[in-house]
Chain A
Amino acid sequence: MGASLRDIKARINTTKKTSQITKAMEMVSASKLNRAEHNARSFTPYMEKIEEVVASVALGSNDASHPMLVKRPVKKTGYLVITSDRGLAGAYNSNVLRTVYQTIQERHRSTEEYAIIAIGRVGLNFFKRRNIPVALHITGLPDQPAFADIKEIANKTVNMFADGTFDELYMFYNHFVSPIQQDVTEKKLLPLTDLASDKKLTAYEFEPSQEEILEVLLPQYAESLIYGALLDAKASEHAARMTAMKNATDNAKELIRTLTLSYNRARQAAITQEITEIVAGANALQ
């Protein structure tokens, strides 16, 4: 014991204020999550269509070939890692970063063999602190990114594969499963080796030629995959932050409950003591 009534009161007040903030952040994240899910939905038709066309064009005839479709000996690997700019999102960032870090330790011996493309400040700082080479980075993306926001970095990333800087590219991000579950996902971005469509392939005429169409189509497809991953990761971020803030609010409530209990107990003890003193005083006078 020993905590005075005033101290306990002060702690109750600060905890209450904190819980108001976390509650507000929870609600903000909930509405951001809503919009993020909406963004992901408006992206789906584009992605489905482009997947269908890419599969039709690339698999339609056997003589079609493009550097982005072919595996080559790997000298250098690129890892595109999507994290958030800010913390307070539970294990959102640490899960991804731990997975990437372990993967790199397992697969590579020297820093010559890989480089990071960092989306998000938390990831950028993490890799810089560990002296892991960061080839490209972008921070300060809005909560609801438009394609134009990441066009440049997506374009550069794909070009780094095309010009031979990287021989393969992987993406690491949190895949949105549900508001309470996000899974760290590793996805191979380039080369595009597992193109498969369950839809019926269409035999197209090509204007001007299949090679030239792949030249336009494949980079656009790869850039869309990056954007798709970003939208997915953003939805996860808002969900993770919402859950983290909900837990914080619940914890604060629990803390307020126990503090109120000890406050009342201390108050009761003080009153009892006062009464005892008065009675003792009255008795002494008799």
Chain B
Amino acid sequence: MKTIKVSVVTPDGPVYEADVEMVSAKAQSGELGVLPGHIPMVAPLEIGAVRLKKGNATEFVAVSGGFLEVRPDRVTILAQAAERAEDIDVARAKAAKERAERRLQAKQEDIDHKRAELALRRALNRLNVANRNF
């Protein structure tokens, strides 16, 4: 099986680096699957899970937005925050979720509202990825 190099990079350092058979991610325009030999492409990502298929196993990385860059020999995902499923701090994500929910209920100005909504989505995404729940 042909493979393609994938790296997930954040400002705090590389998070994931491996050769995989397929990368799937949730782009803003919809689900996106990349196989080796894909034409060069750039696509912005949603807050969501990136699935990396390697043999029979699939690994998950939670990303908070960012974008995906495809080249014939490699795929790079640049996100402001990303964690592999096993590195996610579940307790912290739960706390963040509750905090965001409280803020959403308080309903203040629109900017705060939007920020809390994004925070909630990031927290839910982390929890989903950690529990492999899709």
A→B interface (CB under 8 Å): 39, 42-43, 45-47, 49-50, 53, 56-57, 146-148, 151, 202-208, 212-213, 215-217, 220, 223-224, 227
Task: Select which of B12, B29, B65, B71 is within 8 A of A43 by beta carbon.
Answer: B12
Which residues of chain A have C-beta atoms less than 8 A from B27's C-beta?
207
| CB pair A205 B10 closer than 8 Å | no
For the A-B complex with A204-B40, A206-B43 known, give 7 more contacts whose Cβ atoms are closer than 8 Å.
A43-B13, A53-B42, A205-B42, A212-B44, A213-B42, A223-B80, A227-B11
| CB pair B11 A46 closer than 8 Å | yes
Least CB distance from A81 to B in Å reads: 21
Least CB distance from B52 to A in Å reads: 18
Q: Among residues 2 to 44 in chain B, which have CB atoms less than 8 Å away from a CB atom of chain A?
A: 9-14, 27-29, 32, 39-44
Which residues of chain B have C-beta atoms less than 8 A from A206's C-beta?
41-43
| Range, interface on chain B | 20 to 34
Task: Select which of B12, B13, B78 is within 8 A of A53 by beta carbon.
Answer: B78
Q: Among residues 73 to 124 in chain B, which have CB atoms less than 8 Å away from a CB atom of chain A?
A: 76, 78, 80-81
Closest to A159 in B: B111
Give the interface SS of chain B, mostly helix, strand, loop or mixed: strand
Q: A49-B78, A148-B81 are in contact. Are A57 and B42 (CB under 8 A)?
A: yes
Closest to A46 in B: B9
- Top 3 nearest A-B pairs (CB, nearest first) are A42-B13, A207-B43, A147-B11
| CB pair B10 A46 closer than 8 Å | yes
Bound CA–CA A220/B78 (angstroms): 10
Least CB distance from A52 to B in Å reads: 9
Q: Among residues 31 to 79 in chain B, which have CB atoms less than 8 Å away from a CB atom of chain A?
A: 32, 39-44, 65-67, 69, 71, 76, 78
| CB pair B40 A203 closer than 8 Å | yes
| CB pair B28 A212 closer than 8 Å | yes
Least CB distance from A66 to B in Å reads: 13
Task: Select which of A151, A202, A216, A224 is within 8 A of B44 by beta carbon.
Answer: A216
Give the interface centre of B40, B42, B67, B76 by most chain A CB atoms within 10 Å.
B42
Bound CA–CA A43/B76 (angstroms): 15
Closest to A48 in B: B9
| CB pair A46 B78 closer than 8 Å | yes
Least CB distance from B75 to A in Å reads: 12
Least CB distance from B126 to A in Å reads: 13
Bound CA–CA A151/B65 (angstroms): 13
Which residues of chain A have C-beta atoms less than 8 A from B10's C-beta?
46, 147
| CB pair A42 B12 closer than 8 Å | yes
Q: A147-B11, A212-B44 are in contact. Are A49 and B71 (CB under 8 A)?
A: no
| CB pair A207 B11 closer than 8 Å | no
| CB pair A205 B41 closer than 8 Å | yes
Task: Select which of B11, B71, B80 is within 8 A of A202 by beta carbon.
Answer: B71
Q: A49-B69, A213-B42, A216-B65 are in contact. Are A207 and B12 (CB under 8 A)?
A: no
Least CB distance from A221 to B in Å reads: 9
| CB pair A147 B80 closer than 8 Å | yes
Which residues of chain A have C-beta atoms less than 8 A from B67's C-beta?
53, 213, 216-217, 220
| CB pair B32 A146 closer than 8 Å | no
Task: Select which of B9, B13, B41 is within 8 A of A207 by beta carbon.
Answer: B41
